[in-house]
Structure 1
Amino acid sequence: MLKCDISMIHPMKDPERIFSDLREIGHGSFGAVYYARNVVTKEIVAIKKMSYNGKQAGEKWQDIIKEVKFLRQVKHENTIDYKGCFLKEHTAWMVMEYCLGSASDIIEVHKKPLKEDEIGEICHQCLKGLDYLHSFGKIHRDVKAGNILLTENGTVKLADFGSASIVCPANSFVGTPYWMAPEVILAMDEGQYEGNADIWSLGITCIELAERKPPLFNMNAMSALYHIAQNDPPTLAGGDWSDEFRQFVDSCLSKSPCDRPSANILIKGPFIDKTRPPNVILDLILRTKDAVRELDNLQYKRMKKILMVDVIDVENGPNGRSDVTEDDSSQDGDNVDSSKSSSIASQQSSHSISMSSKSSSQNSIHSATNDDLGFSSFSRERSDWSNPRSSIAEHAHTNKVYLSMVCFSMSTICTFI
């Protein structure tokens, strides 16, 4: 380990003496995500455990360091809060803010689109997070409903920075196919892209929230990539949507990146700036919790995470539970003493892919067998991309797959059509 790497984590502190009541809430090839409680502060957190031993241990370690480095640089109300990273037995414990679930989870629970006011407030808070990232030359590169998390107090958080770029402009082929901007798909042939690629992805996310799935979702991923790059941008289909909402989506989905408004300009536009009920997200969360309680047993097990805090509070009683004494408080990390927050990872997400023209600290080529899933991305089983009838529900437990290719161009995509 490099000295600069060690400075970003707490290698000498035992996380098992700091966190208790761990309960798995999802897992994938990267490891697993757990609900946990800080035994000193009683704060609820989510912990992503990632092993860095075995094959490709060095590459795994560098991926961990890259993500930690990015998260340490990000601090905003509308981005997921990083609290620290610990090492134990060749496993990194990445401690994050705990959220109830993702916007995609909410659609899955209700089996219907969100209301326009709900979409507007989610977009408003996402744009504030994106404006912050872009102002520091960072690009999220994987904006979608599955990576937009909601907290108990109604705050919307951008999550999963495993695909994020710390430099701008960037040139890596990274993201989730159906949400990828045309210039990202073409980057390896035609050059670089900037933060307005995230604006395109937000426009696609608006359609996802309004229609329960993104455009072209009935196609396989490679066909969708070709169509996104070569054809006219999608628009909102029928529905009782306002002109302001339709215009917002159209502006986000301008084919030319130069024609897309910045996050800062969109925040001031008529759709985002309009008056909405003050508790629109809180009301959505309450309705979602009620709906989860009515789900059948199988669905309830998948969405129980939305009620996790409520369920465990009942199990533990009014005083909670602690497995260590006050003497252990000295083991606590410097970033793990925040005030109470709420948050967990989303299980719902389609495949994300990363193909880079060159390997570097910012843009590395990842093996298809070494999935680098972000905090809010994990899978229990992998679905088949080639199935053109795949639905959002079928993708509920699938996630990020990084495909390693030395060359990738539009001519390559065409061979899949």
Structure 2
Amino acid sequence: MKKINHYNIIDRIGIGGMGEVYRAEDTVLERCVAIKIMHHHLSQDSENVDRLIREAKAAAKLVHPNVITIHEIGEADFGYYIVMEYINGISLSDFLYHNDKIDQERAVNFTIQILKALNAAHKAGILHRDIKAENILITEDDQVKVLDFGIARLSKNDNLTKNNVILGTIDYMAPEQMLGDDIDERCDLYAAGMVLYQLLTRLLPFKSSNTVQILFNKLNEEPASPSSINPRINRELDAIVLKAIHKKPSERWQTAEEFLTVLRDFLDQLRRDKIKPAAVPINYDLDFEEDGKNALTLKNVFIGRQKEFKRLVQLFNDVKIGRGQSVIIKGEAGIGKSRLASKFRSYAEYNKACVIYGACLYKEGMDAYLPFIDGLRDFFSRDNQRLTENDRNELVSRVRKQMPDFSLFMDRFTTTLVQKSKNKKGSTKKSQDSQLENFIHLFSLISNLHPLILIIDDMQWADVA
């Protein structure tokens, strides 16, 4: 494709689930633009077309420096497209990947700009409903642009959701949105709070490969304070973030303007008084026993686990220089094994490791490789900030070349990876052995990019295979 009407295509700058984005020259107005073209197979579905038109209409209603400007929407032989302003920048997800540390002042400044865009949208009666790192662009001069209003709600009577399908991105989604309850502006503010949390810690507080587990955690667990992960964060900012992502809408910031005001006041105070970062809370007194090589047995005291955590960090340092390690964390139920693993996961991800986390389930007939499948589904998700688009595409390309049988499952990682065999007795075991070899090969490919940590929780329920 070289031309669309009076737009000369220069190159492709992005690709996503809905379509491809190209940089192009507007030959009439002599300017650079971005053109989003819906995938041809999706343009055959009227609901997808409605979503594209909705995106154009929602953004076109907003004339704001922090919202992408829409120039036109059109239809050609290949399908529908949107022409928008071209932004010389990168997505916030890529920005997070390429920047090891983001100071709290910069993180707050980004969030203020996101909230300015949301404030304008809410005043126009528009809910974005999908605020996340991938839908935010950062320019070279740190200007924020909010984009992708594809599932925005344009009015209270407007509802894109059909057949009880909840639209949005699970990790950033407010609990009431996940449950399909009535939502308002506070669901966008929750997502903005999640983005701020991620900017401060490089992590999301309720990460899991299991959607039900994420919802359970959001409804029942309290997120770790940002300063417990990144000690440079001020305690006052802790409180602001945790209020934004409170499980109850009534306990959050009620409007974008209110959230904005609090963050502006915080910045003013930070610059005026030079607030010192919070100290790391000391709450690790739990003892442990060694039980064979690299086995940690937790005692029946649930106070903390500094010694075990330090041991895991030592082993992680060995991994970073090429010495692989296997560790078993043992102990009675409720003693804190999963919590220790979760804290170590946060540490490893903060130190640029690739972490694949899966859990065994107590259920008859479950796939023996389910923990691997769930972990890989989460790892290859486009919401995984530890994996750049280039790394993801490179991995998929290598798998398709080197592991053709396994590549059939790359795009979705279904929960039944090993298909039921209709061949002779004994072929199923051969297939399972082959799949295990494929998993090992895939883990090896991933570890060539970054140190790899594979965490399997609830091993007591593992399939004997």
TM range (shorter): 0.5 to 0.7
Q: 1:393 is paired with a residue of what secondary structure?
A: coil
Among candidates 203, 219, 228, match of residue 229 of structure 1: 219
Among candidates 89, 95, 109, match of residue 98 of structure 2: 109
Match status 1:150 vs 2:154: no
Q: Is the 1:267–1:273 Cα contact (8 Å) retained in structure 2?
A: no
Deviations 1:147-174 (A, max 9, x none): 1112345421111111211124888522
Give TM-score scaled by structure 2 length.
Answer: 0.54
* AA at the equivalent of 1:244: E
Aligned-residue offset at 1:128 = 0.8
Q: Is the 2:131–2:172 Cα contact (8 Å) retained in structure 1?
A: yes
Match status 1:201 vs 2:194: no
Aligned-residue offset at 1:213 = 2.4
Q: 1:175 is paired with a residue of what secondary structure?
A: coil
Q: Distance in 1 between matches of 2:53 and 2:138?
A: 26
Q: Is the 2:174–2:187 Cα contact (8 Å) retained in structure 1?
A: yes
Change (3 A) 1:49 1:55: closer
Change (3 A) 1:386 1:163: farther
Aligned-residue offset at 1:184 = 0.9
Deviations 1:25-82 (A, max 9, x none): 1224533111112123332221111155688443333333222222222221111111
Q: 1:77 is paired with a residue of what secondary structure?
A: coil
Q: Is the 1:248–1:271 Cα contact (8 Å) retained in structure 2?
A: no
Q: Which runs of 5+ in 2 are unaligned?
A: 272-371, 394-410, 413-465
Q: 2:243 is paired with a residue of what secondary structure?
A: helix
Q: Is the 1:233–1:255 Cα contact (8 Å) retained in structure 2?
A: no
Deviations 1:293-326 (A, max 9, x none): xxxxxxxxxxxxxxxxxxxxxxxxxxxxxxxxxx
For 1:2-401, list aligned pairs within 5 A: 16-51=4-39, 56-99=44-87, 100-110=89-99, 112-168=100-156, 173-187=166-180, 191-236=181-226, 237-238=228-229, 239-261=231-253, 262-269=255-262, 274-275=267-268, 386-387=375-376, 390=379, 391-394=384-387, 396=389
Change (3 A) 1:61 1:169: closer
Q: Distance in 2 between matches of 1:31 and 1:95?
A: 13
Q: Distance in 2 between matches of 1:193 and 1:166?
A: 13
Equivalent in the alignment of 2:458: none
Aligned-residue offset at 1:200 = 1.0
Q: Which runs of 5+ in 1 are unaligned?
A: 1-13, 278-382, 403-417
Q: Distance in 1 between matches of 2:57 and 2:377?
A: 38
Q: Distance in 1 between matches of 2:82 and 2:263?
A: 39
Aligned-residue offset at 1:22 = 2.2
Deviations 1:170-222 (A, max 9, x none): 885221111111111123xxx31101011111111112112222123244333
Q: 1:269 is paired with a residue of what secondary structure?
A: helix
Aligned-residue offset at 1:24 = 0.8
* AA at the equivalent of 1:212: R
Q: Distance in 2 between matches of 1:78 and 1:139?
A: 15
Aligned-residue offset at 1:394 = 3.3
Deviations 1:267-306 (A, max 9, x none): 11155552489xxxxxxxxxxxxxxxxxxxxxxxxxxxxx
Q: Is the 1:22–1:34 Cα contact (8 Å) retained in structure 2?
A: yes
Q: Distance in 2 between matches of 1:182 and 1:233?
A: 13
Q: 1:184 is paired with a residue of what secondary structure?
A: helix
Change (3 A) 1:34 1:388: closer
Q: What's the % identity of the aligned pairs? A: 26
* AA at the equivalent of 1:387: L
Q: 1:78 is paired with a residue of what secondary structure?
A: coil
Q: Is the 1:178–1:217 Cα contact (8 Å) retained in structure 2?
A: yes
Change (3 A) 1:395 1:245: same
Give TM-score scaled by structure 1 length.
Answer: 0.60
Q: Is the 1:220–1:387 Cα contact (8 Å) retained in structure 2?
A: no
Q: Distance in 2 between matches of 1:130 and 1:165?
A: 13
Q: Is the 1:170–1:194 Cα contact (8 Å) retained in structure 2?
A: no
Q: Is the 1:143–1:179 Cα contact (8 Å) retained in structure 2?
A: yes
Q: Is the 2:111–2:195 Cα contact (8 Å) retained in structure 1?
A: no
Q: Is the 1:36–1:46 Cα contact (8 Å) retained in structure 2?
A: yes
Q: Is the 1:80–1:159 Cα contact (8 Å) retained in structure 2?
A: yes
Q: Distance in 2 between matches of 1:47 and 1:249?
A: 35
Change (3 A) 1:248 1:65: same
Q: Distance in 1 between matches of 2:246 and 2:199?
A: 19
State the structure with more CA Rg.
2
What CA RMSD, in Å, does the superposition of the two structures yield over aligned residues?
3.1
Structure of higher RCO (CA pairs closer than 8 Å, 6+ residues apart): 1
